[in-house]
Every structure is written in structure tokens, then in C-alpha cells.
């Protein structure tokens, strides 16, 4: 079979044509993201009209807008934006009638996080901001009419997250204790003392989702007494627990809450693909209908306060995400948009869930994507490693994965030990195993792909971003004979300098790094041994390294110190520095520049296809 023409990189990595549609709380308007002059901006249409009739609301000319929400006043959209990837997010308000834009949190060097809105208080919302002390986020009440930003709740110095009740009063928080434990605290009202409701040791997982109707219970996710997390309903006064949902295979996934009562309605479990358990009979018929609309795994991303209309997104591995408008009263589903409509002209590579045995008997879950129309035998392969590492890969559309498959590569994604979602034993099997057992899982996965006949042993690359970038460096340094080349995107090369340079608002996570990565003060030899920088002389394969100059998580020095060491040792390395990016590449022109170079690099060293 003749391979299809190569998919242009602009279609895969340029701006989405339309994305993230959101209904206003009253259902009269529909906002979404779309490019204006090549930059993602907010657009608005009447909910009853076609999106083609929408008008632009904002006129950003920088990195674009990627996250926003409707305020309950039905005329304000609030969006988050940083400066060139520094992650000091500010909250901006745009009035849909006047189109006036205001910076609601104009505090230099501070990071704002939206916390809560309330239909009963349409002109207010809560935000967490680290303006008082860069290490800690306090809660502020923001008035959309006046622009006032008033301190609501001060952080005592150990709170990592806040939760408001259904009267928009801050009555729950998640604290990080000095030994790495975490604690869920509650209080009866805003004047009462905080008290512990649940405490999790460093080996456990847990946190609160929301207050239940009536504000007398909390919906809490917890692994206590179970390997995977369960969804509990806990009475605040007594601590009495009721188990609402659990799956012995995986942790709780997405939780669907009613838009105004906040009652739990459904829970998702992501084993190989997303499956829903219905807890509220009121939506059972709706979910059954939505499941039959099109292929892919669906999620609710927007609902009116009246709950009569929903926006649903379908995520499918072999096509770009598709958005639908669902009228619950009429039981009518109408297609809205797809993020990348030009991709419909091309065939995407099939992506199948796989299970891989690790050398110590642990079962690894992952996904194998194959080039469309090619025999799945002794292909060049890219091991694509997810970041985090406390995250996981999912089934669904990923432009980078489909780009690689289109260029003729088998693509293997592995949820190695320390990935989240598979229970606490699997998570903590990776403690202090960076560059060791976590890396062995990747090596074993490559061996599996070779033994199964998918991969050519002489043409395997390792590629990833953040922790995935570290894994690419570690693969090149610690297992130099496994890979033909490696691509590192914003990956740390020295774990000591990584931990010493974390942002101040990560200070509460420092003990987590000590326990899961290694203590730089007490275990310096372990830290050095697991840092690819100190094994650079073993690297004997070509390297491509890319970095954002403003990255607050993995500083520019992490890439430049290993690039310098590689060059000093006469190794083959190409380095790309993007001065207007942070921890990843948001600007489409930078993405296109990077992927053009990566495509050329892989074609040269693995023999895949490439556009000129």
C-alpha cells in the first residue's frame, strides 16, 4: 500500500481552528477560542447561532489565550495569561458587551489561580494568589464590578490548596505536613478554628473534590484502606464515611458534579479507555444517548445553570477532538466544531492499548500507535515518554503521536512505575527510582516492542518533555546501546540543580521530592548517580535538546549545562532555545520550528519520512 501524502505540520501543530466552547450560565451565549491574526483569542456568538457568526472579544498578540471561564454575571469572561511562559498567571476580565479588558490581579511576579464562582453571588469569584508571600497562595475575593481584590483567607504557611463551600465560604483546605503527609482540614465557618478531618501518610493519596449539597458533607478521593483511590462522602461533623465509587484496577478519574447543587452524578475510570459509572439516575439516559453519537471518549465541559444544555467533547485517537451542543429537553445533539478540520482528509494511525511485563513482574499499561497503511513489522520506533512523572498517558488524540506515525514510526507510550492512576503501590514503586527502575520500565518496553516484531532494534529513538526529557537524557546516558538517537524537551539534566531551583510556590512540595526523587542533602551520591549530566561521557548517540528561556520549573541552565558538557566531550548535539517560551511551546511558530527540526533529526537517524 502506498503511504498517504505527509500531513503538513501546520495542520497538526498550528493553532486549533476552534476550541474550548463554553456556554454562559444563562445559556444565551457561547464563547470559544479561535485564532485572530495567528494568535488564539476569545470569540463570542449567540448560543442559538452558528459559530461562524461569532465576533472576536480579545485581541492578544502574544502567546494567546488557552484557559478561561464564565463568571456568573453572564457578561464577564475571565481568562488566565502569563508572560512568555513564566507561569505567573494573571486573571483578566473581558466584558462581552463593551469588550473592555481589565487585569484583575495586576501584581508583579505573583501567580493567580481561580477557585470558585457562585450563581448567588454573580459579581464575585474567589482566587488564590501568592502576592503576600511568593511561597504561599492566600484566598482573595474579587469583585467584577469594582475590581476590588480583598483578602479573604490567609495561608498559615502549609496549605497547598483551598476549597469553598456552596455559599462561597472557604471552609476546607489541603495542607502539606513537614514529613510529606497531607491533611484535609475543615472549619465550621470563617471564624472557627481549622481542624483535621483526614490525614494521609506520604504513601497514601487523597484530596477533596467539593462540598456536597447542604454543606454538611465533603466528596473526598482517598486511598486509605484500598490500593486505588475511592470516592467517599464524608460527614464533616463526625467523619463518618460512605463509599460512593471505586475500581480496584485504577484510581478515580473525572468526577461529574451538578452545576449548581454540586451533587456527584458520575465518575470516570480510565483503564485503557474512559468508562463512566452513573451515580445519578437523572443523567443515565443522557449519557447513553451521548455514548452513541460518535466514536471517541466523551466528557462534559460546559453546562448551563438550568442544566438544560451541555457542551460535550469527544476525544478519539484517530481524529481531532469534536465538540457537540446537547439540548437535554429535546434530546438533540448538534455538531459544533472540530479543532483541526483539515485532518479529516487524512488517515490517522491506529492506537491500541497494550500491557507490557516489567523485568520484576510489574505490569505496565501503555499505548502503541502504528503508521497508517504500513505493515506493523520491524518499523523504526519512537518511545514517547510522558512528563510529570506523576501523570499518565491516555487513549485519545495527540498531535505529536500522529505526526510521528504519519512519518512512518511506530510510537510507544508507557505508563511506567510512578505514573499516576494505577493505585498507590504502582505510584510508589517509582520512589527514588529516577534513572533506575523507572528507566528499566522504558528499556523493558522497547525490548517488548522488538520481541513482538513491531520495532527494528537498530532504529529506536527516545523522546519526551519535562520528565520525559529527563528520561530521554537518562536513556542516552544510562542505556546508550538501546537507542539510535534522543530528543529532550525542557528536561532536567542534574537533579540537584533541578530541586534547588524549583519555584518558591513549590516549596511545600519539597518533601515530596525528597521522598520520591531523593534528598539532595542526605543522599547526594544517589542524586548525582541518577543525574544524566554526570554520565555524559557514556552518551554516544545524536541528541536534540530544546528549551524555553522562561521555564520556571526546569530552568534554562538544565539544558545548557548538558549541552556544554556534550560539546566538550565531542558528542553530537543540536540545541534550540526559545526566548519567548516556558515549560513547553505555546506559540505555533515555535512549535512549527521545533517539529521541523525534530522531523529532520529523526529522518536522518531513524530513516522515517520528512517534509522538505
CA distances from 323 to 51, 389, 443 (A): 12, 30, 38
Alpha carbon distance 211, 163 (integer Å): 8
User: Does the pLDDT at position 350 exceed 90?
Assistant: yes
Model confidence at 2, in pLDDT bands (50, 70, 90)? Answer: confident
* Residue 48 in this model has a pLDDT that exceeds 90: no
Write out 205-232 in H/E/C secondary structure: CEEEEEECCCCCEEEEEECCCCCCCEEE
- Cell 523493558 belongs to which residue? 444
Kindly report the number of other CB atoms within 10 A of residue 552's CB atom: 20
User: Which entry of 137, 251, 551, 605 is annotated as an active-site residue?
Assistant: 551
Q: Which residues contact 495 (CB under 8 A, 6 or more apart)?
A: 434, 517, 518, 520, 527, 530, 531
Other C-beta atoms closer than 10 Å to the C-beta of 26 total 17
Would you call 579 helix, strand, or coil by DSSP? coil
pLDDT of residue 49: 83
DSSP letter assigned to residue 28: S
Helix (H) or strand (E) holding 142: strand 136-143
**pLDDT category, 154, cuts 50, 70, 90?**
very high
User: Could you give the C-alpha distances from 268 to 93, 246, 287, 395, in angstroms and in order?
Assistant: 32, 10, 12, 14
Mean pLDDT of 494-498: 97
Burial (CB < 10 A; 0-12, 13-18, 19+), residue 329, is exposed
Rounded to two decimals, the pTM is: 0.96
Confidence of residue 4 (pLDDT cuts 50, 70, 90): confident
Active site residue 551: yes
The per-residue pLDDT of the chain, averaged, comes to: 97
Q: What is the distance between the alpha carbons of residues 555 and 533, in angstroms, rounded to a whole number?
A: 15
- The whole-number pLDDT of residue 269 equals 98
- For residue 3, how many other CB atoms are within 10 A of its CB? 14
What residues contact 306, with CB distance under 8 A and at least 6 apart? 26, 27
d(CA 5, CA 402): 14
Question: Phi/psi of residue 325, each to 5°?
Answer: -105, 125
Strands of the 149-153 sheet, one edge to the other = 112-116, 124-133, 136-143, 149-153
- pLDDT of 399 above 70: yes
Site of grid cell 525534530: 598
Q: With 90 as the cut, is the pLDDT of residue 90 above it?
A: yes
Task: Convert the pLDDT of each residue in 12-28 to its tens digit.
Answer: 999 999 999 999 999 99
Active site residue 583: yes
- Integer Cα distance of 176 and 512 in angstroms: 9
- Give residue-wise pLDDT tens across range 525-584: 999 999 999 999 999 999 999 999 999 999 999 999 999 999 999 999 999 999 999 999
Angle at 439 between CA 397 and CA 444, to 5 degrees: 80
Distance CA 312, CA 302 (A): 7
Beta strands in 24-81 (DSSP E): 29-36, 39-46, 55-56, 67-70, 76-81
State the pLDDT confidence band at 1, using cuts at 50, 70 and 90.
low
Residues in the chain: 612
The count of other CB atoms within 10 Å of the CB of residue 523 is 15
Output helix, strand, coil percentages for the chain, rounded to the nearest 5: 20, 35, 45
- The one catalytic residue among 466, 493, 535, 559: 466
Q: 344-606 adopts what CATH topology? A: Rossmann fold (3.40.50)
> Which set of grid coordinates corresponds to residue 297?
471518549
Assess contact for 48 and 84: CB atoms under 8 A. no
d(CA 122, CA 109): 28
**Residues 491, 466 contacting (CB under 8 angstroms):** yes
Going by C-alpha positions, the residue among 358, 504, 352, 333 that lies closest to residue 418 is 358
Q: Kindly report, residue by residue over 272-288, the tens digit of the pLDDT.
A: 999 999 999 999 999 99
The kind and range of the H/E element at 255 are strand 255-257
CATH number attached to the domain at 9-343: 2.130.10.120
Contact 581, 490 (CB under 8 A): no
**Catalytic entry in 137, 325, 394, 583:** 583
pLDDT score of 125: 97
pLDDT beyond 90 at 128: yes
Q: List the domain boundaries for the chain.
A: 9-343, 344-606
Write the DSSP assignment of 328-389 as a string of letters.
TTTTEEEEEEES-GGGGGSPPPPEEEEEEE-TTSPEEEEEEE--TTS--SSEEEEEEE-SSS
Separation of CA 136 from chain center: 22
Element at 132 (helix H, strand E): strand 124-133
Amino acid at each position: 500500500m502506498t503511504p498517504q501524502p505527509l500531513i503538513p505540520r501546520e495542520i497538526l501543530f498550528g493553532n486549533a481552528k476552534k476550541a474550548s466552547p463554553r456556554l454562559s450560565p444563562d445559556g444565551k451565549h457561547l464563547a470559544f477560542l479561535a485564532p485572530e491574526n495567528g494568535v488564539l483569542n476569545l470569540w463570542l456568538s449567540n448560543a442559538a447561532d452558528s459559530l461562524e457568526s461569532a465576533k472576536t472579544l480579545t485581541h492578544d498578540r502574544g502567546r494567546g489565550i488557552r484557559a478561561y471561564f464564565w463568571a456568573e454575571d453572564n457578561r464577564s469572561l475571565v481568562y488566565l495569561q502569563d508572560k512568555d511562559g513564566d507561569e505567573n498567571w494573571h486573571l483578566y476580565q473581558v466584558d462581552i458587551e463593551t469588550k473592555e479588558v481589565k487585569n484583575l490581579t495586576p501584581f508583579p511576579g505573583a501567580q493567580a489561580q481561580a477557585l470558585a464562582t457562585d450563581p448567588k453571588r454573580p459579581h464575585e469569584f474567589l482566587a488564590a494568589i501568592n502576592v503576600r508571600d511568593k511561597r504561599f497562595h492566600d484566598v482573595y475575593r474579587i469583585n467584577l464590578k469594582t475590581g476590588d481584590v480583598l483578602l479573604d483567607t490567609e495561608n498559615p504557611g502549609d496549605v497547598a490548596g483551598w476549597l469553598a463551600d456552596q455559599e462561597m465560604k472557604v471552609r476546607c483546605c489541603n495542607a502539606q505536613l513537614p514529613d510529606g503527609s497531607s491533611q484535609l482540614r475543615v472549619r465550621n465557618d470563617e471564624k472557627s478554628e481549622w481542624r483535621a478531618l483526614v490525614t494521609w501518610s506520604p504513601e497514601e493519596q487523597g484530596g477533596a473534590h467539593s462540598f456536597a449539597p447542604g454543606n454538611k458533607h465533603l466528596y473526598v478521593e482517598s486511598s486509605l484502606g484500598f490500593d486505588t483511590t475511592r470516592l467517599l462522602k464524608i460527614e464533616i461533623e463526625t467523619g463518618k464515611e460512605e463509599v460512593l465509587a471505586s475500581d480496584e484496577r485504577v484510581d478515580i478519574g473525572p468526577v461529574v458534579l451538578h452545576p449548581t447543587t454540586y451533587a456527584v452524578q458520575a465518575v470516570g475510570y480510565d483503564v485503557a479507555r474512559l468508562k463512566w459509572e452513573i451515580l445519578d439516575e437523572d443523567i443515565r439516559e443522557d449519557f447513553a444517548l451521548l455514548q452513541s453519537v460518535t466514536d471517541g471518549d466523551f466528557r462534559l465541559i460546559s453546562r448551563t445553570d438550568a442544566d438544560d444544555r451541555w457542551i460535550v467533547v469527544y476525544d478519539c485517537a484517530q481524529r481531532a477532538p469534536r465538540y457537540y451542543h446537547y439540548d437535554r429537553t429535546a434530546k438533540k445533539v448538534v455538531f459544533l466544531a472540530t479543532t483541526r478540520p483539515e485532518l479529516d482528509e487524512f488517515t490517522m494511525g491506529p492506537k491500541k492499548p497494550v500491557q507490557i511485563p516489567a523485568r520484576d513482574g510489574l505490569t505496565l499499561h501503555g499505548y502503541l500507535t502504528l503508521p497508517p497503511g504500513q505493515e506493523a513489522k520491524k518499523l523504526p520506533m519512537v518511545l514517547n515518554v510522558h512528563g510529570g512523572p506523576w501523570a499518565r498517558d491516555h487513549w485519545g488524540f495527540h498531535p505529536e503521536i500522529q505526526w510521528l506515525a504519519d512519518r512512518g514510526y511506530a510510537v510507544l507510550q508507557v505508563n511506567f512505575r510512578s505514573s499516576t492512576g494505577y493505585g498507590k503501590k504502582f505510584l510508589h514503586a517509582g520512589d527514588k527510582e529516577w534513572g533506575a527502575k523507572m528507566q528499566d520500565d522504558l528499556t523493558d518496553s522497547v525490548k517488548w516492542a522488538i520481541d513482538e516484531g513491531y520495532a527494528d532494534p537498530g532504529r529506536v529513538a527516545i523522546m519526551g518533555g519535562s520528565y520525559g526529557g529527563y528520561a530521554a537524557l537518562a536513556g542516552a546516558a544510562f542505556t546508550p546501546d538501546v537507542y539510535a538517537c534522543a530528543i529532550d524537551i525542557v528536561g532536567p539534566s542534574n537533579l540537584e540543580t533541578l530541586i534547588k531551583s524549583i519555584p518558591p510556590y513549590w516549596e511545600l512540595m519539597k518533601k515530596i521530592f525528597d521522598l520520591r526523587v531523593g534528598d539532595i542533602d542526605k543522599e547526594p551520591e544517589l542524586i548525582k548517580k541518577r543525574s544524566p549530566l554526570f554520565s555524559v561521557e557514556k552518551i554516544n548517540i545524536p541528541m536534540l535538546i530544546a528549551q524555553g528561556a522562561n521555564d520556571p520549573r526546569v530552568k534554562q541552565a538544565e539544558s545548557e549545562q548538558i549541552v556544554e558538557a556534550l560539546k566538550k566531550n565531542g558528542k553530537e548535539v543540536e540545541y534550540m532555545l526559545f526566548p519567548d517560551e516556558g515549560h513547553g511551546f505555546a506559540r505555533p511558530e515555535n512549535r512549527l520550528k521545533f517539529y521541523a527540526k525534530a522531523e529532520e533529526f529523526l529522518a536522518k537517524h531513524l530513516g522515517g519520512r520528512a517534509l522538505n
